[in-house]
């Protein structure tokens, strides 16, 4: 039996303006310009210009005027429908870049990598093979297209054969693919087209052994290195030096010479190619700039390449013109429809301008609180001066929500006299020292990194020994915590840090 009953629910729904501000807040400076350009292309009522309050006049046509226009003709667009369509239309999802509004000299162009891509260089070398058969050339191009940005072929030959059949309706075989792959592995850079790290290093080493000008001593070291990579690759990767000397019947000097030859090889051949990879280099543009002026820190937003915005004066004049014709009783149905469209675009432009302003204010207040919280660090650049700081700390200072602080900190950078840093780097948990005081985990990580850097690489320190050394320095820390920090710092285990 179907029953009906009433119930009340309290829901919180974000307005389009709030959604727009949230989306703009998490956009870094490097994307701000593009976002603004997209908005100006979508909304002709928005243009570059001065945003002073006296130039941002309210339209002389208010909501009552629009309502009276609608009421005068039943065939006109209903205001309720207009409002519903206006709210449902998502005015957000944009991007932007940056320029400095403080100093015109701060304007700079973002450098762009030019030249042929890595794959274009491979295709150029393919042309020098003089493949008479067009079919073979298509097979070779399929292989080149399967090589990734590091220079490896990580796709199975059987899969390449299937790709040729489905995409080009071309019959091939695994042996044919292997034959062409062998030719491609002779291309530059050395090691390209390898299917594993072992094969990549072997290709490079075999090419070096063909060098006629190499000394006998170097050739001997390379031959030992070749045998290590070919027959004892597992022992090599695990740095079992004692086993390698036993299996190869060589002494420490011979092993060291062979290891030096291997270390000269490139595990990512495409990275060393002068033509660059197939992706454009990413350049960091800071969102904030902190300057030290005679021991006093000054913060400013880096709004470079983000133009000042204003409502298009022509659109506002059109509304004034409509008001005059309305008073003269010379208003047509098309005029009424047009004014609704113009009012919508002007309101949308004002929303966007206000959202940009609120974004700048929120970012400034958040970064200012971070700067004050970590004042000693920004003065000295000493990571040991960093205080334990979590999102909640800054939220309490600024009065903003934790989620807002998170959006500001995410993907944002600050330029200091000690380099450009990620905002996330300043947030850390705390760890207690033996005397009961709290210090940032960043401080502990810095000391841990220094200890590992200064250790004897022939006898690297285990996590247990690292724990003891940190405890001797006053930090109450467990071995598993040392292992976690070591992994976060990208430091391998002791066995893999061992050197001859």
d(CA 191, CA 269): 6
For the cut 90, the answer to whether the pLDDT of residue 299 exceeds it is yes
Instruction: Please report whether residue 397 resides in a domain.
Output: yes
pLDDT tens for residues 470-483?
888 888 888 898 99
Q: What local confidence, expressed as pLDDT, does residue 53 receive?
A: 44
Instruction: Please report whether residue 278 resides in a domain.
Output: no
For the cut 70, the answer to whether the pLDDT of residue 183 exceeds it is yes
- At residue 115 the predicted structure's pLDDT band, cuts being 50, 70 and 90, is low
Mean per-residue pLDDT of the chain: 79
Contact (CB, 8 A) for 379 and 254: no
Contact (CB, 8 A) for 113 and 138: no
Contact (CB, 8 A) for 440 and 485: no
Q: What local confidence, expressed as pLDDT, does residue 332 receive?
A: 67
pLDDT tens for residues 42-60?
888 888 775 444 344 444 4
For the cut 80, the answer to whether the pLDDT of residue 438 exceeds it is no
Q: How many domains does the chain have?
A: 4
CATH of the domain at 469: 1.10.10.60
- At residue 25 the predicted structure's pLDDT band, cuts being 50, 70 and 90, is confident
Instruction: Please report whether residue 471 resides in a domain.
Output: yes
Q: What local confidence, expressed as pLDDT, does residue 41 receive?
A: 87
Choose one of 377, 397, 427: the last residue of a domain: 427
d(CA 203, CA 208): 9
For residues 298 and 416, membership in a common domain is answered with: yes
Choose one of 210, 245, 272: the last residue of a domain: 272
For residues 256 and 309, membership in a common domain is answered with: no
Ramachandran sector of residue 249 (left: φ over 0; alpha: ψ -120 to 50; beta: rest)? left
- At residue 493 the predicted structure's pLDDT band, cuts being 50, 70 and 90, is confident
Q: What local confidence, expressed as pLDDT, does residue 354 receive?
A: 87
For residues 326 and 222, membership in a common domain is answered with: no
Q: What local confidence, expressed as pLDDT, does residue 195 receive?
A: 94
* pLDDT > 90 in the chain, percent: 27
Q: How far is CA 261 from CA 119, 236, 241, 322, in A?
A: 28, 13, 15, 81
For residues 357 and 417, membership in a common domain is answered with: yes
Average of per-residue pLDDT across 73-96: 36
Q: What local confidence, expressed as pLDDT, does residue 17 receive?
A: 67
Q: What local confidence, expressed as pLDDT, does residue 158 receive?
A: 92
For residues 466 and 337, membership in a common domain is answered with: no
Average of per-residue pLDDT across 307-333: 72
For residues 290 and 380, membership in a common domain is answered with: yes
For the cut 70, the answer to whether the pLDDT of residue 314 exceeds it is yes
For residues 57 and 97, membership in a common domain is answered with: yes
Q: What local confidence, expressed as pLDDT, does residue 359 receive?
A: 87
Average of per-residue pLDDT across 451-475: 89
Higher pLDDT: 62 or 302? It is 302
Instruction: Please report whether residue 318 resides in a domain.
Output: yes
Q: What local confidence, expressed as pLDDT, does residue 80 receive?
A: 37
- At residue 305 the predicted structure's pLDDT band, cuts being 50, 70 and 90, is low
Q: For residue 149, what are the domain limits?
A: 118-184
Q: What local confidence, expressed as pLDDT, does residue 234 receive?
A: 92
For residues 37 and 85, membership in a common domain is answered with: yes
Instruction: Please report whether residue 9 resides in a domain.
Output: no
Choose one of 396, 427, 458: the last residue of a domain: 427
Higher pLDDT: 428 or 402? It is 402
Least confident interval from 109-113, 252-256, 312-316:
109-113
Instruction: Please report whether residue 113 resides in a domain.
Output: no
For residues 294 and 407, membership in a common domain is answered with: yes
- At residue 372 the predicted structure's pLDDT band, cuts being 50, 70 and 90, is very high
- pTM listed for this prediction: 0.53
Instruction: Please report whether residue 338 resides in a domain.
Output: yes
For residues 388 and 304, membership in a common domain is answered with: yes
Instruction: Please report whether residue 189 resides in a domain.
Output: no
pLDDT tens for residues 248-285?
999 999 999 999 999 899 998 887 664 444 444 456 78
Q: What local confidence, expressed as pLDDT, does residue 227 receive?
A: 95
What would you report as the CA-atom Rg of the chain, rounded to the nearest whole angstrom?
33
For residues 311 and 421, membership in a common domain is answered with: yes
Average of per-residue pLDDT across 316-322: 75
For residues 405 and 438, membership in a common domain is answered with: no
For the cut 90, the answer to whether the pLDDT of residue 196 exceeds it is yes
């Amino acid at each position: 039996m179907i029953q009906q009953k009433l119930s009340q629910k309290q829901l919180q729904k974000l307005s389009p303006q709030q959604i727009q501000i949230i989306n703009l807040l998490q956009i870094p400076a490097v994307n701000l310009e593009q976002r603004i350009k997209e908005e100006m292309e979508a909304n002709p009522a928005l243009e570059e210009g001065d945003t002073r309050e006296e130039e941002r006049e309210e339209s002389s046509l208010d909501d009552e005027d629009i309502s009276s226009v609608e009421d005068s003709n039943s065939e006109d667009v209903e205001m309720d429908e207009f409002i519903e369509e206006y709210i449902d239309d998502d005015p957000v999802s944009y991007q932007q870049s940056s320029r400095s509004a403080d100093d015109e000299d701060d304007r700079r162009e973002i450098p762009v990598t030019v030249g042929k891509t890595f794959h274009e260089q491979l295709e150029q070398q393919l042309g020098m093979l003089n493949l008479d058969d067009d079919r073979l050339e298509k097979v070779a191009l399929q292989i080149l297209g399967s090589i990734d940005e590091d220079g490896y072929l990580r796709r199975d030959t059987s899969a390449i054969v299937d790709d040729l059949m489905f995409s080009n309706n071309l019959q091939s075989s695994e042996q044919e693919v292997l034959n062409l792959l062998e030719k491609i592995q002779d291309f530059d850079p050395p090691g390209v087209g390898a299917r594993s790290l072992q094969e990549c290093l072997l290709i490079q080493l075999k090419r070096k052994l063909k060098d006629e000008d190499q000394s006998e001593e170097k050739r001997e070291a390379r031959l030992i290195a070749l045998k290590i990579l070919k027959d004892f690759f597992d022992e090599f990767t695990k740095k079992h030096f004692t086993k390698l000397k036993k299996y190869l019947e060589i002494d420490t000097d011979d092993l060291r010479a062979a290891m030096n030859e291997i270390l000269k090889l490139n595990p990512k051949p495409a990275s060393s190619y002068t033509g660059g990879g197939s992706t454009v280099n990413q350049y960091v543009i800071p969102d904030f700039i902190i300057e030290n002026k005679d021991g006093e820190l000054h913060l400013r937003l880096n709004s470079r390449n983000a133009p000042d915005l204003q409502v298009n004066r022509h659109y506002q004049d059109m509304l004034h013109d409509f008001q005059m014709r309305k008073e003269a009783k010379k208003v047509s149905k098309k005029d009424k429809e047009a004014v609704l469209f113009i009012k919508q675009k002007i309101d949308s432009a004002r929303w966007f301008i206000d959202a940009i302003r609120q974004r700048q204010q929120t970012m400034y207040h958040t970064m200012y609180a971070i700067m004050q919280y970590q004042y000693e660090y920004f003065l000295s650049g000493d990571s040991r001066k960093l205080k334990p700081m979590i999102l909640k700390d800054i939220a309490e200072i600024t009065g903003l929500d934790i989620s807002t602080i998170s959006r500001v900190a995410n993907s944002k950078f600050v330029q200091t006299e000690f380099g450009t840093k990620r905002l996330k780097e300043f947030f850390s948990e705390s760890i207690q020292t033996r005397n009961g005081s709290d210090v940032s985990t960043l401080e502990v990580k810095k000391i841990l990194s220094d200890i590992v850097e200064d250790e004897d690489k022939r006898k690297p320190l285990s996590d247990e020994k690292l724990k003891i050394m940190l405890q001797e320095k006053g930090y109450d820390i467990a071995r598993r915590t040392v292992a976690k920090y070591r992994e976060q710092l990208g430091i391998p285990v002791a066995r893999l840090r061992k050197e001859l």
